[in-house]
A and B are shown apart, each in its own frame.
Chain A
């Protein structure tokens, strides 16, 4: 079946502009995660959704970052007033559900969006 998809694959924008990054999870997966990965580092957690609601957004670096998942499927990560330090690969992952923590389901990653802020 289809995996997680993300669009665009690459985005180049100027400092100060607004960008939207889209994630299409695996059909039926209720949990969706956003991460940011810089060169030489592991993915850094930003936010996760269980259904339509943001279950934890503690990883969002500041109020320029916002994410939505209005119908419990597709999610959009929105970045306002982009800065050069926002340049990174933004990864989305989905899983069947968050479980109770002691049995956290496996996550399946999309190919990522490479964001470059000039």
Chain B
């Protein structure tokens, strides 16, 4: 059973470009969480999704950031018009079970660098 997969592992973008980060949860998991780790800072919650639904996006910046988890395919975190402050490690985690309560399995992260 493959673990949580994220790609790309490293992404370099210039200011103003778009960044698309992908997360494939573990098989059978229908709950996905995205977290961000800014340089020298702790992890922060961004968004919680179930298949085709955003359940909690209270940690997402109001502008330029969006997330989706379609019926088929990976979850996507999209950052439009990136700025240097978006440089960070973005981790997704997936969880099984009713209500998403349970152990979370983390992906290896995508390290975004904005030049």
Q: Answer yes or no: do A and B interact.
A: no
